[in-house]
Amino acid sequence: MALTPSNMLPLGTTAPDFTLPDTVSGKTLGLSELKSDRATVIMFICNHCPYVKHVNAELVRVARDYQPRGVAFVAISSNDAEHYPEDGPEQMKRVAGRLGYPFPYLYDQSQSVARAYQAACTPDLYLFDGALRLVYRGRLDGSSPGNGVPLTGADLRAALDAVLAGRAPDADQKPSMGCNIKWRAPA
């Protein structure tokens, strides 16, 4: 594990389109059917990363708090499951069920979606407005394993509240920090 920060994709970037298999439902789902006309959160996560394990419960709480307000949430794992089998589709489905993910958990086997979003770490969070323009990227909040800061989702919640109120989130956004995405070796 290498502690890695978000790449901080430029604000205003249009959400790259994708179609990926959902490990929970078994369906293939695309951004066009998952997005919301209010706000859409795309989260790059995985099963084995201690930083994701640390924030999982709060990701579920934030989704449950904001889905009734019209916000869509999508989780994607792009890790190399051949070298990190805990991050494979069957294990993703089990983790989603055990933790009660109220959002699809998509598998990006080709890693093309992670590359399109310039995702670097897990968790890596992106918030898009109703027009699918990036308005927030970075951390959930200031909590990380062992730092003693309470897990609240404050940074993402503040950005969501701003978007839902028709305002731009604060442009002073801090990168997420976590495990690097486990890229496959080039063929």
In angstroms, the Cα distances linking 135 to 143, 161, 163, 181 are: 21, 12, 8, 23
Ordered by where they begin, the domains of the chain are 3-180 (3.40.30.10)
Per-residue confidence band for 33, with pLDDT thresholds at 50, 70 and 90: very high
38: confidence class by pLDDT, cuts 50, 70, 90: very high
In single-letter form, the type of residue at position 111 comes to: Q
Average pLDDT over residues 45-59: 97
Closest of 91, 93, 115 to residue 104, by C-alpha:
93
Q: What is the mean pLDDT of residues 48-67?
A: 97
Which position has the higher pLDDT, 146 or 113?
A: 113
Query: What is the structure's pLDDT at 54?
Result: 97
Mean pLDDT of the chain: 96
| Rounded Cα–Cα distance for residues 92 and 79 (Å) | 11
pLDDT tens-digit series, residues 10-31? 999 999 999 999 999 999 999 9
